[in-house]
Structure 1
Amino acid sequence: MKIDVLSIADCPNGDTALARVQEAIQALGLSKVELHSHVLRSSADAARWAFAGSPTILIDGSDAFPSDGRTAELACRVYPGELALEGAPSREQLVAALRMRLS
Protein backbone atom coordinates (compact mmCIF):
# COMPACT_ATOMS: atom_id res chain seq x y z
CA MET A 1 0.00 0.00 0.00
CA LYS A 2 1.23 3.49 -0.87
CA ILE A 3 -0.03 6.60 0.88
CA ASP A 4 0.72 10.12 -0.33
CA VAL A 5 -0.06 13.16 1.78
CA LEU A 6 -0.32 16.22 -0.45
CA SER A 7 -0.18 19.70 1.01
CA ILE A 8 0.67 23.19 -0.08
CA ALA A 9 3.46 25.31 1.36
CA ASP A 10 2.47 26.98 4.61
CA CYS A 11 -0.57 24.73 5.07
CA PRO A 12 -1.17 24.60 8.82
CA ASN A 13 -2.76 21.15 8.49
CA GLY A 14 -0.23 19.27 6.37
CA ASP A 15 1.93 18.15 9.29
CA THR A 16 -1.16 17.27 11.32
CA ALA A 17 -2.50 15.09 8.51
CA LEU A 18 0.85 13.34 8.09
CA ALA A 19 1.10 12.65 11.83
CA ARG A 20 -2.45 11.29 11.95
CA VAL A 21 -1.78 9.02 8.97
CA GLN A 22 1.27 7.66 10.80
CA GLU A 23 -0.87 7.09 13.91
CA ALA A 24 -3.54 5.27 11.88
CA ILE A 25 -0.91 3.04 10.24
CA GLN A 26 0.46 2.18 13.69
CA ALA A 27 -3.01 1.60 15.14
CA LEU A 28 -3.70 -0.99 12.44
CA GLY A 29 -0.26 -2.57 12.75
CA LEU A 30 0.46 -2.08 9.06
CA SER A 31 4.09 -2.73 8.25
CA LYS A 32 4.25 -2.65 4.46
CA VAL A 33 3.13 0.89 3.78
CA GLU A 34 5.05 3.41 1.71
CA LEU A 35 4.26 6.82 3.18
CA HIS A 36 5.28 9.94 1.28
CA SER A 37 4.70 13.61 1.96
CA HIS A 38 4.61 16.05 -0.96
CA VAL A 39 4.54 19.84 -0.82
CA LEU A 40 2.84 21.21 -3.92
CA ARG A 41 4.23 24.57 -4.98
CA SER A 42 2.38 25.32 -8.21
CA SER A 43 -0.86 24.68 -10.06
CA ALA A 44 1.12 22.39 -12.35
CA ASP A 45 2.16 20.30 -9.32
CA ALA A 46 -1.47 20.09 -8.17
CA ALA A 47 -2.67 19.10 -11.65
CA ARG A 48 -0.34 16.08 -11.65
CA TRP A 49 -2.12 14.56 -8.62
CA ALA A 50 -5.70 13.75 -7.62
CA PHE A 51 -5.52 16.89 -5.49
CA ALA A 52 -8.65 18.16 -3.77
CA GLY A 53 -7.10 20.81 -1.55
CA SER A 54 -4.53 20.78 1.21
CA PRO A 55 -4.15 18.31 2.74
CA THR A 56 -5.24 15.52 0.40
CA ILE A 57 -4.49 11.93 1.38
CA LEU A 58 -4.17 9.40 -1.42
CA ILE A 59 -4.20 5.66 -0.81
CA ASP A 60 -2.78 3.84 -3.80
CA GLY A 61 -3.49 6.93 -5.90
CA SER A 62 -7.13 7.39 -4.86
CA ASP A 63 -8.44 10.05 -2.52
CA ALA A 64 -9.04 8.50 0.92
CA PHE A 65 -12.01 10.87 1.28
CA PRO A 66 -13.46 11.18 -2.23
CA SER A 67 -15.17 14.40 -3.21
CA ASP A 68 -15.99 16.32 -6.34
CA GLY A 69 -13.42 18.87 -5.31
CA ARG A 70 -10.41 17.97 -7.46
CA THR A 71 -8.52 21.16 -8.23
CA ALA A 72 -5.30 22.42 -9.74
CA GLU A 73 -5.50 25.47 -7.47
CA LEU A 74 -3.32 25.70 -4.38
CA ALA A 75 -6.25 25.70 -1.99
CA CYS A 76 -7.12 24.47 1.48
CA ARG A 77 -9.46 21.59 2.26
CA VAL A 78 -11.72 20.80 5.20
CA TYR A 79 -13.04 17.54 6.58
CA PRO A 80 -16.16 16.84 8.65
CA GLY A 81 -15.32 16.60 12.34
CA GLU A 82 -17.38 15.55 15.32
CA LEU A 83 -18.63 19.06 16.04
CA ALA A 84 -17.35 21.20 13.17
CA LEU A 85 -15.24 21.17 10.04
CA GLU A 86 -11.58 20.34 10.62
CA GLY A 87 -8.42 21.01 8.66
CA ALA A 88 -7.41 17.33 8.61
CA PRO A 89 -9.21 14.01 9.09
CA SER A 90 -9.09 12.48 12.54
CA ARG A 91 -7.04 9.40 13.33
CA GLU A 92 -10.29 7.45 13.60
CA GLN A 93 -11.46 8.61 10.17
CA LEU A 94 -8.10 7.56 8.73
CA VAL A 95 -8.24 4.16 10.42
CA ALA A 96 -11.70 3.62 8.90
CA ALA A 97 -10.49 4.71 5.44
CA LEU A 98 -7.51 2.36 5.64
CA ARG A 99 -9.69 -0.54 6.80
CA MET A 100 -11.98 -0.02 3.80
CA ARG A 101 -8.98 -0.24 1.46
CA LEU A 102 -7.76 -3.42 3.15
CA SER A 103 -11.05 -5.27 2.77
Structure 2
Amino acid sequence: MRITLLTVPDCPNAPMARERIDQALAGRAAEVTVVEVSDETQAATLGMTGSPTVLIDGVDPFAVPGAVASVSCRLYRGTDGLTEGAPSVTDLRRVLLTG
Protein backbone atom coordinates (compact mmCIF):
# COMPACT_ATOMS: atom_id res chain seq x y z
CA MET A 1 0.00 0.00 0.00
CA ARG A 2 1.28 3.43 -0.96
CA ILE A 3 -0.07 6.52 0.80
CA THR A 4 0.68 9.99 -0.52
CA LEU A 5 -0.10 13.11 1.49
CA LEU A 6 -0.35 16.13 -0.80
CA THR A 7 0.02 19.48 0.93
CA VAL A 8 0.72 23.11 0.19
CA PRO A 9 3.84 24.59 1.80
CA ASP A 10 3.29 25.31 5.50
CA CYS A 11 -0.16 23.70 5.55
CA PRO A 12 -1.28 23.85 9.20
CA ASN A 13 -3.28 20.61 8.81
CA ALA A 14 -0.52 18.50 7.25
CA PRO A 15 1.04 17.42 10.59
CA MET A 16 -2.39 16.37 11.92
CA ALA A 17 -3.12 14.43 8.72
CA ARG A 18 0.25 12.64 8.90
CA GLU A 19 -0.26 11.79 12.59
CA ARG A 20 -3.74 10.42 11.89
CA ILE A 21 -2.43 8.32 9.00
CA ASP A 22 0.17 6.81 11.33
CA GLN A 23 -2.51 6.13 13.97
CA ALA A 24 -4.82 4.56 11.41
CA LEU A 25 -2.05 2.30 10.12
CA ALA A 26 -1.37 1.09 13.68
CA GLY A 27 1.85 -0.61 12.68
CA ARG A 28 0.70 -1.92 9.28
CA ALA A 29 3.35 -1.65 6.60
CA ALA A 30 2.79 1.17 4.14
CA GLU A 31 4.92 3.57 2.19
CA VAL A 32 3.91 7.11 3.25
CA THR A 33 5.19 10.03 1.21
CA VAL A 34 4.56 13.73 1.77
CA VAL A 35 4.57 15.88 -1.38
CA GLU A 36 4.44 19.68 -1.32
CA VAL A 37 2.36 21.09 -4.16
CA SER A 38 3.07 24.67 -5.14
CA ASP A 39 0.89 25.42 -8.17
CA GLU A 40 -2.43 24.57 -9.84
CA THR A 41 -0.79 22.61 -12.66
CA GLN A 42 0.98 20.31 -10.21
CA ALA A 43 -2.24 20.01 -8.18
CA ALA A 44 -4.14 18.93 -11.30
CA THR A 45 -1.44 16.45 -12.31
CA LEU A 46 -1.34 14.84 -8.84
CA GLY A 47 -5.09 14.95 -8.15
CA MET A 48 -4.99 17.39 -5.24
CA THR A 49 -8.32 19.07 -4.48
CA GLY A 50 -7.09 21.03 -1.49
CA SER A 51 -4.53 20.63 1.24
CA PRO A 52 -4.12 18.12 2.68
CA THR A 53 -5.21 15.47 0.18
CA VAL A 54 -4.67 11.81 1.05
CA LEU A 55 -4.12 9.40 -1.83
CA ILE A 56 -4.13 5.65 -1.31
CA ASP A 57 -2.41 3.88 -4.19
CA GLY A 58 -2.97 7.05 -6.23
CA VAL A 59 -6.70 7.37 -5.47
CA ASP A 60 -8.40 9.98 -3.27
CA PRO A 61 -10.88 7.93 -1.22
CA PHE A 62 -12.39 11.14 0.16
CA ALA A 63 -12.94 12.77 -3.24
CA VAL A 64 -16.00 14.94 -3.62
CA PRO A 65 -17.67 14.62 -7.03
CA GLY A 66 -17.02 17.70 -9.13
CA ALA A 67 -14.15 19.00 -6.97
CA VAL A 68 -11.46 20.69 -9.04
CA ALA A 69 -7.71 20.75 -8.53
CA SER A 70 -6.71 23.36 -6.01
CA VAL A 71 -3.84 24.59 -3.86
CA SER A 72 -6.31 25.84 -1.25
CA CYS A 73 -7.22 24.45 2.18
CA ARG A 74 -9.43 21.36 2.33
CA LEU A 75 -11.93 20.35 4.97
CA TYR A 76 -13.20 16.86 5.72
CA ARG A 77 -16.62 16.01 7.14
CA GLY A 78 -16.45 12.92 9.32
CA THR A 79 -19.15 10.34 9.83
CA ASP A 80 -19.87 12.12 13.11
CA GLY A 81 -20.79 15.27 11.15
CA LEU A 82 -17.83 17.31 12.40
CA THR A 83 -15.66 19.21 9.94
CA GLU A 84 -11.89 19.14 10.40
CA GLY A 85 -8.73 19.88 8.45
CA ALA A 86 -7.84 16.19 8.06
CA PRO A 87 -9.73 12.91 7.81
CA SER A 88 -10.50 11.31 11.17
CA VAL A 89 -8.56 8.25 12.30
CA THR A 90 -11.81 6.26 12.06
CA ASP A 91 -12.42 7.36 8.46
CA LEU A 92 -8.79 6.66 7.54
CA ARG A 93 -8.97 3.17 9.05
CA ARG A 94 -12.14 2.49 7.08
CA VAL A 95 -10.54 3.41 3.73
CA LEU A 96 -7.25 1.68 4.57
CA LEU A 97 -9.09 -1.58 5.23
CA THR A 98 -10.79 -1.40 1.84
CA GLY A 99 -7.70 -0.09 0.01
TM-score by length of structure 1 reads: 0.85
After TM superposition, where is structure 1 displaced by more than 6 Å over at least 4 residues in a row?
A: none
Bigger CA drift: 55-64 or 38-47? 38-47
**Gap runs ≥5 in structure 1:** none
Task: Give the match for residue 85 of structure 1.
Answer: 83
Task: Give the match for residue 4 of structure 1.
Answer: 4
TM-score by length of structure 2 reads: 0.89
Q: Alignment length, in residue pairs?
A: 97
**Gap runs ≥5 in structure 2:** none
> Within the alignment, does 1:39 sit opposite 2:43 as a pair?
no
**Percent identity over the alignment?**
36
Displacement, 1:39?
1.1
Query: How does 1:1-103 map onto structure 2 within 5 Å?
Result: 1-26=1-26, 29-31=27-29, 33-68=30-65, 69-71=67-69, 73-81=70-78, 82-101=80-99
Give the residue type in structure 2 aligned to 1:42: D
